[in-house]
Amino acid sequence: MSENKLLDLSFEFAVAIVNLIDNISVPKSSYMINQLARAGTSVGANIHEAQYAQSKKDFIAKMEIALKESNETSYWLKLMYETKRIDIHTYQYTEKLCGNIRRLLIASCKTAKENLK
């Protein structure tokens, strides 16, 4: 593990999303799978990109995008579970990771905004 828990968790989450998607065998779910893949992997990509932000405002903007993407990912995970595309174990595991990341993002954004003042 690196020194940045948020980076580590978001990468673990992206791996979980990719593995989840690769294991879906229910037909006619491609639109949901695509949305989940985009939102779920975007979380970590935006967090990673924020580490090299050009300014504090840019950092905050990227972290807020990651927060929005994590929120969207939760929606797609719940929809996939409720429509029986994923099982309860997969849903709970990925949703827990997503929730942990979301809480860290909220705290990071709040701290960054306070430091900006």
Q: What is the pLDDT of residue 28?
A: 66
Kindly give, in sequence order, each residue whose CB lies less than 8 Å from that of residue 30, ignoring residues fewer than 6 positions away.
Answer: none
* DSSP class per residue in the chain: --S-HHHHHHHHHHHHHHHHHHT---SS-HHHHHHHHHHHHHHHHHHHHHTT-SSHHHHHHHHHHHHHHHHHHHHHHHHHHHTTSS-HHHHHHHHHHHHHHHHHHHHHHHHHHHHH-
Domain count, the chain: 1
Q: What is the pLDDT of residues 40-72, one digit of tens each?
A: 999 999 999 999 999 999 999 999 999 999 999
Q: What is the pLDDT of residue 2?
A: 56
User: What does the pLDDT profile of the chain (117 residues) look like in tens digits?
Assistant: 457 999 999 999 999 999 999 988 776 678 889 999 999 999 999 999 999 999 999 999 999 999 999 999 999 999 999 999 999 999 999 999 999 999 999 999 999 999 987
Its domain, for residue 78, covers 5-20+28-116
- Residue 41 sits in a domain of what CATH number? 1.20.1440.60
Q: What is the pLDDT of residue 116?
A: 81
Rg (CA), the chain: 15
Kindly give, in sequence order, each residue whose CB lies less than 8 Å from that of residue 64, ignoring residues fewer than 6 positions away.
Answer: 109
- Pairwise CA distance, residues 43 & 75, whole Å: 14
Residue among 40, 95, 93, 34 nearest 68 (CA): 40
Q: What is the pLDDT of residue 24?
A: 86
- Note the pTM of the prediction, 2 decimals: 0.91
If you search the block for the tokens 């174990």, which residue do you land on?
89
